[in-house]
Homo-oligomer: A and B are copies of this chain.
Amino acid sequence: MSTPTVYDVAERSGVSIATVSRVYRNPDSVRAQTRDKVLHAARELGYFPSGNARGLASRTTGVLGLCFPDYADPDAEADGADGDDSAVMLYSDQIIRGMERAARRHGYALLIAASLEGGPQTLVEQVAGRVDGFAVLARTIPTEDLEIISRRLPVVMLAGPREIDHLDHIEVANFDGERELTRHLIADHGLRRLAFVGGEIDSPDAEARFGGFRAACQEADLPVPDEPTIRASMMTQAEGARAAEALLDRGGAHPQGVLFANDQMAVGALHALESRGVRVPRDIAVTGFDGIPLSRIVRPALTTVRQPMRRLGEEAVDLLVRRLGDRSREPVSLMLPVSVTRRASCGCVGEARQL
């Protein structure tokens, strides 16, 4: 047969299948001589163990998973300074990297899967049934499904609010970060007419950031809006540009500073403002949120709040591994700190200069 099994190896080496199994699982539990015999036969046959059969029999896979949304901002994919797609590292890439490193340290491999348009059902089946535990980015898998899956294996939720309170959960300090950024604009740059461009109402991150914005406004006795000045539907560059136009086109004095709920939109706005002859930061200060690599490359470089995405991935793995070790641990909810990165677009670093 083209796929040798333990039986073939056992027969050829004159031992039982149990011994063959032991040789691969716990070599020291077999006498050296027997082991060599088995290994030799295995080599000759071209045998190697089936992960599936192993997983089925032992109920563990040695694999951790990551599910993330099919968040493909076409802009993000295409952009990058000299048309070099490879330059732009996306969120998912960073989380993947963080998880991969951490998983490797713990001896696990990483299975990654993005939700396909077709619905998450497939996704769930693809990963949930093949891993020992996995991390999910917010809004990737319906809460209902997670509820079920998490009864069987460890799940840690990444970003977004904690939808299921008995699950481990990691988020970043959206509120605090935006509040600090807003304070900076108000206190250090003396801006008072600020606008906030938010995202979809069901984006918890964007909402939390808006909350931070409001808090800073309140502290400074500025008007506290109930709603973002503008709500973008997609948080893409195109939407950011559109929002900037809209801001310019409304009557009255335009705002002195615009805080975008993410970097993508802010970058789009930068382009739009430039083409409208509005100078940043001289005429308007612009800020983003996320700290994507592109934020540093654009001109003026974008002042933003940097999220530790890579660490998010590492912490996720640590949490999974820890829970795998003790299923009855108390669920935890981590809040990862963010840091305001001051660059040119708010007026902190020199004058805006073209690349």
Contact = CB atoms under 8 A, between A and B. Distances in A.
A93 interface: yes
Contact of A52 (B55, B104, B114): B55
Contacts of A90: 97
A298 to B, nearest CB: 13
Contacts of A52: 51-56, 61, 129-130
A96 to B, nearest CB: 6
A: interface residue count bin: 35 or more
B126 A81 contact: no
Interface in A36-84: 43, 46, 48-56, 61-63, 70, 81-82, 84
B152 A3 contact: yes
Most buried by B among A51, A54, A70, A82: A51
Given A61-B130, A62-B126, A296 B48 contact: no
Contacts of A107: 116, 122
Nearest to A110: B112
Contact of A89 (B48, B49, B53, B86): B86
Nearest to A296: B81
B109 A126 contact: yes
A34 interface: no
A124 interface: yes
A201 to B, nearest CB: 28
Contacts of A151: 2, 46
Nearest to A55: B52
A238 B125 CA distance: 46
Interface string A284-299: 0000000101001000
Contacts of A127: 51, 109
Given A50-B56, A126-B62, A94 B86 contact: yes
A15 interface: no
A166 to B, nearest CB: 14
A271 B56 CA distance: 53
Given A49-B129, A293-B293, A113 B124 contact: no
A316 to B, nearest CB: 15
A336 to B, nearest CB: 13
A24 interface: yes
A128 interface: yes
A30 interface: no
A125 B51 contact: yes
Given A3-B152, A50-B129, A86-B94, 13 more contacts: A2-B151, A24-B125, A48-B149, A51-B126, A52-B54, A52-B130, A82-B296, A84-B291, A86-B309, A96-B112, A100-B112, A104-B116, A109-B127
20 contacts: A46-B152, A48-B125, A48-B148, A48-B149, A48-B152, A49-B125, A50-B56, A50-B129, A51-B52, A51-B55, A51-B129, A52-B129, A62-B126, A81-B296, A86-B94, A86-B293, A87-B296, A104-B114, A109-B126, A109-B130
Closest 6 pairs (CB-CB, A-B): A51-B129, A51-B130, A52-B55, A109-B113, A52-B56, A46-B148
